[in-house]
Amino acid sequence: MAYKFRLPHLLPIMIVATVVNVGVVIGYKIYTEGNLEPLPTLGTVKPFSLVSQTGAPFGLSDLAGKIWVADFMFTSCAGPCPLMGRRFAGLQRHFGGQPNFQLISFSVDPDTDTPEVLAAYASALGADPLRWRFLTGEYEQIHAVAAESFHLGSTANALHHSTYFTLVDGEGAIRGYFDSTDPHALEDLTAQARQLLNLP
């Protein structure tokens, strides 16, 4: 006589199978939507050699193997630069225990922003000179970095400099641009920097 399956006997198996399947789906969604997918590569920073607020030479080679965020600013800026500086200071606090994380601020007014001027500005922001570099040099050098490496437009007029933060990996590849005026963009920047640093 053929055995007839009864629904009550199958219910526990069906429930377990459903729970397992739902768990797999949820786990997959967390993995794929939880910012764990590889970040895009949006360009490559070309070698540069400038001077930091300490007066020491500093270039792209000093950032090899580091995850870093760059911005463009100038010390006499009365517009977005103070806010950008405060938000960089927040990133410095957030990643304070990570030796492979750096902040790089390029001055777009190198004639005014000497290393001494940048050092005073950096001190007012509480910048750690080993983690947050303020760079200056010849105007042509700064312009080349902004326009040719970061593709953020001309620095011919300091008042019109970009307010975007740029995330760069340890090989000099640009991995993202983030609007410094948008708190949600800064949350994305923090999450993606943590991803590149292999932090939870």
Q: What is the 3-state secondary structure (H, E, C) of 174-191?
A: EEEEEECCCHHHHHHHHH
DSSP alpha helices (H): ranges in 74-114? 81-94
Asked, for residue 13, whether it belongs to a domain, the answer is no
C-alpha 95/C-alpha 90 separation (Å) is 9
Is pLDDT at 2 greater than 70 in this prediction? no
Is pLDDT at 70 greater than 50 in this prediction? yes
Asked, for residue 71, whether it belongs to a domain, the answer is yes
Is pLDDT at 151 greater than 60 in this prediction? yes
Q: Which domain holds residue 161?
A: 49-196
pLDDT (0 to 100) of residue 38:
86
Asked, for residue 15, whether it belongs to a domain, the answer is no
- Helices 81-94 and 183-196 sit at what angle, rounded to 10 degrees? 40
Task: Tell me the pLDDT of the chain averaged across its residues.
Answer: 84
Asked, for residue 34, whether it belongs to a domain, the answer is no
- Dihedral sign of CA atoms 177, 182, 187, 190 in order: positive
Is pLDDT at 60 greater than 90 in this prediction? yes
Asked, for residue 153, whether it belongs to a domain, the answer is yes
Contacts of 54 by beta carbon, 8 Å cutoff, 6+ apart: 115, 119, 129
Asked, for residue 12, whether it belongs to a domain, the answer is no
CATH number at residue 139: 3.40.30.10
117-142 pLDDT per residue, tens: 999 999 999 999 999 999 999 999 99
Number of neighbours of residue 140 by Cβ within 10 angstroms: 9
Containing 107, the helix (H) or strand (E) segment is: strand 101-107
Query: What percentage of the chain carries pLDDT values higher than 70?
Result: 78
- Contact in structure between 109 and 76 (CB atoms under 8 Å): yes
Cα 69–174–45 angle (5° rounding)? 90
pLDDT (0 to 100) of residue 161:
80
154-184 pLDDT per residue, tens: 656 555 688 999 999 999 999 999 999 999 9
The model's pTM is: 0.80
**In the chain, how many domains are there?**
1
pLDDT (0 to 100) of residue 138:
94
C-alpha 82/C-alpha 27 separation (Å) is 42
Which phi and psi (to 5°) does residue 160 adopt? Answer: -110, 25
Is pLDDT at 7 greater than 50 in this prediction? no
Asked, for residue 4, whether it belongs to a domain, the answer is no
Is pLDDT at 42 greater than 80 in this prediction? yes
pLDDT (0 to 100) of residue 91:
98
C-alpha 67/C-alpha 95 separation (Å) is 11
Asked, for residue 162, whether it belongs to a domain, the answer is yes
83-106 pLDDT per residue, tens: 999 999 999 999 999 999 999 999
How far is residue 45 from each of residues 48, 179, 180, measured CA to CA in Å?
Answer: 9, 19, 20
- Contact in structure between 101 and 193 (CB atoms under 8 Å): yes
Residue 31's pLDDT band, with cuts at 50, 70 and 90, is very low
